[in-house]
Amino acid sequence: MQNVIPALIAAVFGSIFGSFTTMLIWRLHYDEPGICKGRSKCTKCGKTLKVKHLIPIFSWLIQQGKCGFCGAKISPFYPLTEFTFALTFFLFTQKFYGTWYLIPVLISVFFILILFWYDAVFMEVDRRISFIAIAFALGWSFSREFPLSAFLIGGLIGYGFYAIQYFCSKGKWVGAGDSELGLLMGLLLGWKFLILGLFFSYLLALVFTVPFLITGKMNRKTKIPMGAFLMPVILLFLYNGYVFWERYLMIFGW
Ligand SMILES: [Zn+2]
């Protein structure tokens, strides 16, 4: 195992970013002021949490998922978010440590995970986050290993793919924010990985929803947060896109 120490340090920072994200998406969704100021409070008893209650992942585990003051249940959404950040920051740092790729890739991972959790929890795409992420991805595409056109074309295809579905279905098939996620995906992955990634996302969505459809817990009109499936696929491709591309081509004998 290479780069374990820097990867562990990145995981600690990742878990802190994860903790920040839980607060960020809550405040953005409910339009609460002061994204960066104000200490976290228990939503039940209103007491301001102490430092020992705010240690990512561990506080929740030690307190067995309950508030340290009133014993109210704390959603597993908090430690799960922190854990996904810690794990991805660990894996990406381990893989890309010592390359110039590391910083832009970690920034991308940060945005992708915020968008993932936002969509998974609230079933919507927050445009304030997606636009910042798009601006970042666009800037990064000027200095990458593929020609700029690969990313710009990717962005256009990704945007168009969802925009067409949105207009044809008058917003019934996909949400308004999904075209921005398509744009982001194309800008981050380039058009080849975008096409393969879209295919993968739908497979993932299918695998996830079929059990619910069979048991009648979902029907064809149930809304599916597409971003929750697009974002993990972007992570997979940023991590190891070439492997997927080669295997995919091999299936078709190219
Ligand atoms: Zn409490």
pLDDT digits (tens, 9 = 90+) for 56-111: 999 999 999 999 899 899 889 999 999 999 999 999 999 999 988 899 999 999 99
Contact status, residue 30 vs residue 22, Cβ threshold 8 Å: no
Q: How far, in Å, is the centroid of ligand 1 from the Cα of 42?
A: 5
Predicted confidence band of residue 241 (pLDDT cuts 50, 70, 90): confident
Q: What is the pLDDT of residue 23?
A: 87
**What distance in Å separates the CA atoms of residue 170 and residue 232, rounded to the nearest whole number?**
27
If DSSP codes are grouped into helix, strand and coil, which group holds residue 48?
A: strand
Contact status, residue 132 vs residue 38, Cβ threshold 8 Å: no
**What distance in Å separates the CA atoms of residue 218 and residue 206, rounded to the nearest whole number?**
12
Q: How far, in Å, is the centroid of ligand 1 from the Cα of 43?
A: 7
Average pLDDT over residues 217-237: 86
In whole angstroms, how far apart are CA 89 and each of 33, 95, 123, 249? 29, 10, 24, 29
Q: What is the pLDDT of residue 35?
A: 55
In sign, the C-alpha dihedral spanning 161, 126, 91, 81 is negative
For residue 251, pLDDT beyond 70 = no
Which residues, other chains included, contact 86 with Cβ-Cβ below 8 Å and sequence gap of 6+?
11, 12, 14, 15, 18, 56, 57
Q: How far, in Å, is the centroid of ligand 1 from the Cα of 52?
A: 14
Q: How far, in Å, is the centroid of ligand 1 from the Cα of 81?
A: 20
Residues with Cβ within 5 Å of ion ligand 1? Answer: 42, 44-45, 67, 69-70, 72
In this predicted model, what pLDDT tens digit does every residue of 99-153 receive, in sequence order?
888 999 999 999 999 999 999 999 889 999 999 999 999 999 998 878 899 999 9
Please compute, for residue 224, the number of CA atoms within 13 A of its CA located in the half-sphere on the CB side. 20
Q: How far, in Å, is the centroid of ligand 1 from the Cα of 39?
A: 14
Q: How far, in Å, is the centroid of ligand 1 from the Cα of 19?
A: 18
Q: How far, in Å, is the centroid of ligand 1 from the Cα of 18?
A: 21
